[in-house]
Structure 1
Amino acid sequence: MKISIVSGSHRAPSQSMKVAHFIEATLKEKALADETWLLDLGNNPLPLWDSGVWEGEPRWKTLLDPIRAELAASDGLVVVSPEWHGQVPAGLKNLFLLLSRFEVGHKPALIVTVSSGDGGAYPVAELRMSSYKNNRLCYIPEHVIVRNVESVLNDDPADNNPDADTYFRNRIAWALGILREYALALRQVRASGVTEHEMFKNGM
């Protein structure tokens, strides 16, 4: 079982990356994954999509082939997104333009959003609405919104709000357990061959 984690903040360092590291550690500590891979979009390393992606231009192959290989070998994903101006960061949405069904199609994904206050709901809605159509990523019904993120999931307990920190640690572990079961189940769906059809390569 391999689970990949995408930290969608352009900042480096970022609270999203802090959450992503916690998720990676939890997957290992709870034996929910045999292998993990973490993609950090800090400093926005990927150029904006252009048609060269579809045409197999060498510069795009150099950038994307390592990412594609890691995701193709994964059974599921965790997508960590901050809320910027009530929306998903541009670099994270760009990543979904660069991916296809060959890497993430019919694989489960858990949405985890991050807010410095009481927000975080808008990115959940945005990701569910507009980031899966052609790449066929399958967001599971469960999601996590880490609110007041500066006061939870810190390495130093003195930096944490004890009640909120305990809640989010437990909630994330529970959601990751659900993700694992979806990952196991959807292996059978992909293996069945029903997801591949030459006439219906894109979603509607």
Structure 2
Amino acid sequence: MKLGIISGSHRPDSQSGKVGRYIRHTLLERKLCDDVWFLDLGKDPLPLWEEGVWDADDARWQAILDPLRTALHSCDGFILIAPEWHGMAPAALKNFLLLWTAGGELAHKPGLIVTVSGSIGGSYPVAELRMSGYKNNRLCFIPEHLIVRNVNGVFNEDESDNDQDPHTYHRDRLIYCLELLREYALALRQVRASGKGALDVYPSGM
């Protein structure tokens, strides 16, 4: 079992990246998967989508996408981390989702949405991703999600930096979500193996 984490913040030193590292540690510590692939879009940004993505002869795009394709295909499920900026999911994360279509890199694999807010927000990116984030890439967002509110006081490596009650609540809720994600990842292997989700006939969602 291998799970992928995508931190969608543009900032190289972000709270979303911090949350992603905490999630990676939790997955491995609790033995919920054998390996974790972690992409931090603040540290490793991707170019904005343009039509060269579809051109197999575009050496620039293929050099960028081929290693990512390999990594994504190897994952059984994903955790998408989205800070709430102006009530929206950040452009880097939406751009990432635009890149994957008929290749099936994300298709029929479970996705857990984790949103991040410095205060009491965080709900708008959940709604945005659920509305449109799956359409052509066929990522299957699971019913549960996690909103990490007042993020500065939780999931810190130094326990003394955590506000204990919120940290404990978010930690326990995260474990619940990750255990459920694992079960979906196991179950959806059968869907992919059935061949019924082949993308050659209908490469784009309706």
TM range, smaller chain:
over 0.9
> Is the 2:6–2:81 contact (alpha carbons within 8 Å) kept by the matching residues of 1?
yes
Distance 2:200 2:177 in 1: 34
User: CA 1:43–1:3 in 2, change beyond 3 Å: closer, same or farther?
Assistant: closer
Give the Å deviation of 1:44: 6.2
| Aligned twin of 1:143 | 145
Give the Å deviation of 1:198: 3.4
Amino acid aligned to 2:137: N
Alignment equivalent of 1:196, drawn from 181, 195, 198 = 198
Distance 1:197 1:39 in 2: 25
> Is the 1:2–1:76 contact (alpha carbons within 8 Å) kept by the matching residues of 2?
yes
SS at match of 2:131: helix
Distance 1:107 1:203 in 2: 15
> Is the 2:101–2:204 contact (alpha carbons within 8 Å) kept by the matching residues of 1?
no
Give the Å deviation of 1:100: 2.2
Distance 1:201 1:155 in 2: 42
Give the Å deviation of 1:201: 1.7
Give the Å deviation of 1:188: 0.2
Matches within 5 A, 1:1-204: 1-42=1-42, 45-56=45-56, 57-101=58-102, 102-196=104-198, 198-204=200-206
Count of residue pairs brought into register by the alignment? 204
User: CA 1:12–1:197 in 2, change beyond 3 Å: closer, same or farther?
Assistant: closer
Distance 1:197 1:167 in 2: 40
Amino acid aligned to 1:83: E
Distance 2:197 2:43 in 1: 35
| Deviations, residues 106-140 of structure 1 (Å, cap 9, x unaligned) | 00000000000000000000011111111100000
> Is the 1:44–1:91 contact (alpha carbons within 8 Å) kept by the matching residues of 2?
no
TM value normalised by structure 1: 0.97
Distance 2:175 2:154 in 1: 14
| Deviations, residues 141-195 of structure 1 (Å, cap 9, x unaligned) | 0000000000111112221111000111111111000000000000000001111
Which sections of structure 2, spanning at least 5 residues, go unmatched? Answer: none
Distance 2:64 2:200 in 1: 27
Distance 2:202 2:68 in 1: 25
User: CA 1:63–1:197 in 2, change beyond 3 Å: closer, same or farther?
Assistant: closer
Amino acid aligned to 1:2: K
Identity %: 58
> Is the 2:101–2:203 contact (alpha carbons within 8 Å) kept by the matching residues of 1?
no
Which sections of structure 1, spanning at least 5 residues, go unmatched? Answer: none
Tell me the C-alpha RMSD between the 2 structures.
1.0
Distance 2:97 2:30 in 1: 29
Give the Å deviation of 1:43: 5.1
Give the Å deviation of 1:99: 1.4
TM value normalised by structure 2: 0.96
Distance 1:60 1:199 in 2: 25
Amino acid aligned to 2:48: L
